[in-house]
Structure 1
Amino acid sequence: MEEPAIEEGDNHRDVEVAPALISVHPDHKFIVVSIGSDLRVFDLQGGCSVTLVDDSSGPLHKDSIRAIRFGAEGKLFVSAGDDKLVKIWNANSWHCISTVCSEKRVSAVAISKDGLFVCFADKFGVVWALNLDGFDENQVLVEKKAAPVLAHYCSIITSLEFSLDGRFIISADRDFKIRVSVFPKKPLDGAHEIQSFCLGHTEFVSCLAFVCAPDYPEGFLVSGSGDSTVRLWDITSGSLLDTCEVGSQAGFLESNGREEEHYSAVIDLCTTPDGTLVAVAIQSLQGILLLNCDLSAKSLSIAKVVSITGGSFIPTSLGTASCAEFLWMVTGVSTLHGFDSHSLARVRVISGFRIGSPDSVEHEPTMLEDDEIPGGEKLLEKLQGSVSIENKVFSAAAEAVKMAMCNLLIKKQYSADKREFRKRTRNDKKIKQ
């Protein structure tokens, strides 16, 4: 039998760039963008940029940020990434109230619905929890340590979400699994009870989100994957309710007579508060795919594609608020080799992302021009650094993100000799001098 091609992971470190991320305050008060190690915040109500205050010495983050998240009530904000630092911010004063050191690089974060726990996942597949009991908006938290609560066996965790009622914590990984764990009353003692596994994806699970409606307050889970599908789940039973193939909408191209693998991975998902729409960012789609979600029929269907014109814009992250009709998106990467551009991020907004059918003229989703975006030029200058950015920069950035995602999440195949060599040279096996 022919041996699988060996992918030398160490040779691709130079393309492991971090994609730009965006997070929207639940009440549409703030927009946060991270690019590389830079965290940028804009106050929509005040119409001005925000200065972050961190009393610890050194930069806010020392390496690429991989996860950002507002709490459900908007009081807390968390940022974490490759520098192994988890920073918890007061989302009113934008003071850093606590910095936690992780043992490994951080890949995902989540905040419990009651705001009492911050959970984060590392590259080794462990989910940690930090108790925020005693959080005071006017004080800095005393130093606290995180405790491990659950683990995926040596598999990178790509996404963390709490269920809408706060009963479960859902974790997804690069080995195609979605685990639903009961979030215990004492999380620091561990989350040992598994409610279900949602199994069906055939490639890494990249993102998770919940959809709900008045008739279905507990909601259902939607997931995106490198297998070019979006799937709908009942997390209580782990049942797969529906699968929507989205790869064909991404302009799938053929290369050397065959389709290029992993070209249309789902990058991110975002849902409307009423659960009728799911916005999907796809790795090769210059636009946003909108899916209809019929919770009564427990089905997903393609509604339309909202194309993004005026340059090569392939979103790397999506965000929306529970009270607004805007879908925010960003594209860009951290430092890109070969380019001297000081701004590698671009922000765009779709209006009409709200309650109602996307086929209704009244609620027709529309891509806003730069001068129509909430916050206008001031916001763009803060979040992306410049309004005018060369198109070739984003073409290169889109390719870099694609390569980085493959290198990070696609499991590599090694020969027997290579496996033995890697075992002998593992960092935890080296004898400290």
Structure 2
Amino acid sequence: MAEAAGGPEEGEHSQEAEVSPALIAVHPLEKSVVVAIGSELRVFDLEGDKAISLLDNSGGPPHSGDVKAVAFGAEGNLFASAGNDKLVKVWATDSWSCIRSVCSEKRLSAVAISHDGHFVLFADKFGVIWIFSLDVGDDNASAEEKAVPLLGHYCSIITSLKFSPDGQFIASADRDFKIRVTVFPKRPLKGAHEIQSFCLGHTDFVSCLAFICAQDSGQAFLLSGSGDSTVCLWNFLTGCLLDTCEVGLKAGVLGPDREEQNQNTAAVTDLCAAPDGSLIAAIVQGLHGVVLMRCNFPGKSLNLARVVVVGNAFVPTSLGTSSAGERLWMAMGASDRSSRSPAAALTRLRVVEVLGAAAAGARVLEDGEVPGGRRLLGGLQGRPEVAGEEEELLAAAAEVAAAAVRDLLVKRQYSVENRELRKRSRNDRKQKQEQQHQRGRDLHC
């Protein structure tokens, strides 16, 4: 989540290069958990009760920049990571070996794997979604096996990519308040040209997406979180807004008089949901915990289930859950390349056990109760236990990361004079003027 096309801000660029939130991803069957912090991927095998050492036989370089997006495939047999080093890496989770590395021209902000496991999609920060095939000898693949453009958002940072439960649609969100739902084509390497709908209604950047599906009817819905401090429920086939949950207000982060407050200080920065909608969770900036919701499928509405406060020193930066939605995994931390503090490489994990249907109850597990116990915490946090002072440093770093992500996604407003000044200082304008001057000199010679 960084600069947009047409002239990134220097402040935006430097901030994003220095601070990146820790990410967490959970295997669909909760066989493993992955934490990304900076350029490091930490994997713990819950079935084998051991930390995993990654093996890279792809022939490509390792991650050297902050990892900004991670995703498991629908079946959990593939995992993808992408980030600031303009690199996408695909891992086979049976051996945790890298089977493919693809380089991009731009830094990356989102990644997804098609349901059949044949294609990997990634988004760059200039608004283009790219795709490449994992099938060797695929007739549709290019000879160089490079990524090709699939679709684009016009010069807007793409913040999230999610496949619908049946794999027939791909939803993409951006910082310009838009959600686009696109038909995933039968020959995706030829491009995706059929737009199913636009889901329009947020009043600030859209930060995260998730799909849920009613078990009885099989009807699927789309969830979205935004900088406007809301989570929305959509009929993504028609683009119709079904319900809006004011999570910032209901969590007590925002007061009733929203006009006198900076709404962006309560931005929804991450969202996850069990496929059946039994667990819907959202991170609201300013809340030392998480908001749990449930979907009333017959009424097509979102209801607040409860607010889980973890503690004053815990500021989550990322969420993950399995298909069953029995546990919610939360990561706190940030990679700060400008800091020499040991906490810059640490993360803090907490797990919420969901009790009963539709998140009727919830309990924050103690460290000894977490699946994998101390061994897991040691492998994923950077050390088994985080001391009180370090935990406070982690919380401060997490708040900085959340603020940095929010500030990068909020579009700045400029006066007419300022806009004209920025246009004149653009590198492409300078190059064009220099070329015109050179042609003029050549004509006079």
When normalised by structure 1's length, the TM-score is 0.89
Deviation digits for residues 80-101 of structure 1 (CA, Å, limit 9, x no counterpart): 0111000011111111111111
Q: Distance in 1 between matches of 2:136 and 2:219?
A: 29
CA positional deviation for 1:130: 0.8
Alignment partner, residue 317 of structure 2:
316
Q: Distance in 2 between matches of 1:333 and 1:221?
A: 28
Deviation digits for residues 21-69 of structure 1 (CA, Å, limit 9, x no counterpart): 0001111111000011111111111111111111367862111111000
CA positional deviation for 1:417: 4.3
Contact 2:211–2:275 at 8 Å: present in 1 too?
A: no
Q: Provide closer, same or farther for how the CA distance between residues 188 and 430 of structure 1 changes in structure 2, counting only shifts above 3 A.
A: farther
> Which consecutive residues of structure 1, in runs of 5 or more, have no partner in the other structure?
1-7, 137-141
Alignment partner, residue 267 of structure 1:
269
Which structure features the higher share of helix residues?
2
Alignment partner, residue 401 of structure 2:
401
1:280 correspondence with 2:277: no
Q: Distance in 2 between matches of 1:415 and 1:229?
A: 29
Alignment partner, residue 443 of structure 2:
none
Alignment partner, residue 362 of structure 2:
365
Q: Provide closer, same or farther for how the CA distance between residues 317 and 296 of structure 1 changes in structure 2, counting only shifts above 3 A.
A: same
Partner of residue 38 from structure 1, selected from 16, 37, 40: 40
Q: Distance in 1 between matches of 2:371 and 2:412?
A: 43
Partner of residue 344 from structure 1, selected from 333, 340, 346: 346
Q: Provide closer, same or farther for how the CA distance between residues 253 and 244 of structure 1 changes in structure 2, counting only shifts above 3 A.
A: closer
Q: Provide closer, same or farther for how the CA distance between residues 236 and 13 of structure 1 changes in structure 2, counting only shifts above 3 A.
A: closer
Q: Distance in 2 between matches of 1:395 and 1:75?
A: 33
Count of residue pairs the alignment pairs up:
415
Alignment partner, residue 328 of structure 2:
327
- Counterpart amino acid of residue 380 in structure 2: L
1:383 correspondence with 2:380: yes
> Which consecutive residues of structure 2, in runs of 5 or more, have no partner in the other structure?
1-7, 436-445
* 1:129-144 alignment, distance < 5 Å: 129-134=131-136, 144=145
Alignment partner, residue 441 of structure 2:
none
1:15 correspondence with 2:12: no
Q: Provide closer, same or farther for how the CA distance between residues 89 and 399 of structure 1 changes in structure 2, counting only shifts above 3 A.
A: same
Alignment partner, residue 110 of structure 1:
112
Q: Which moved more, 1:54-63 or 1:14-23?
A: 54-63
CA positional deviation for 1:144: 1.6
Alignment partner, residue 203 of structure 1:
204
1:101 correspondence with 2:98: no
Q: The residue matched to 1:411 in structure 2 has which SS?
A: coil
Q: Distance in 2 between matches of 1:12 and 1:270?
A: 27
When normalised by structure 2's length, the TM-score is 0.87
Contact 1:28–1:324 at 8 Å: present in 2 too?
A: no
Q: Provide closer, same or farther for how the CA distance between residues 62 and 418 of structure 1 changes in structure 2, counting only shifts above 3 A.
A: farther
Q: Provide closer, same or farther for how the CA distance between residues 145 and 285 of structure 1 changes in structure 2, counting only shifts above 3 A.
A: same
Alignment partner, residue 147 of structure 2:
146
Q: Distance in 1 between matches of 2:217 and 2:209?
A: 18
Partner of residue 63 from structure 1, selected from 54, 62, 65: 65
Q: RMSD between aligned alpha carbons?
A: 2.5
Partner of residue 297 from structure 2, selected from 295, 298, 301: 295
Alignment partner, residue 440 of structure 2:
none
CA positional deviation for 1:358: 3.0
CA positional deviation for 1:412: 1.4
Q: Distance in 1 between matches of 2:96 and 2:325?
A: 22
- Counterpart amino acid of residue 81 in structure 1: G
CA positional deviation for 1:423: 3.2
Deviation digits for residues 92-125 of structure 1 (CA, Å, limit 9, x no counterpart): 1111111111121111111111111111111011
Structure showing greater radius of gyration is 2
Q: The residue matched to 1:292 in structure 2 has which SS?
A: strand
Deviation digits for residues 143-182 of structure 1 (CA, Å, limit 9, x no counterpart): 6211101100000010001111111111110000000111
Q: The residue matched to 2:357 in structure 1 has which SS?
A: coil
Q: Distance in 2 between matches of 1:35 and 1:350?
A: 21
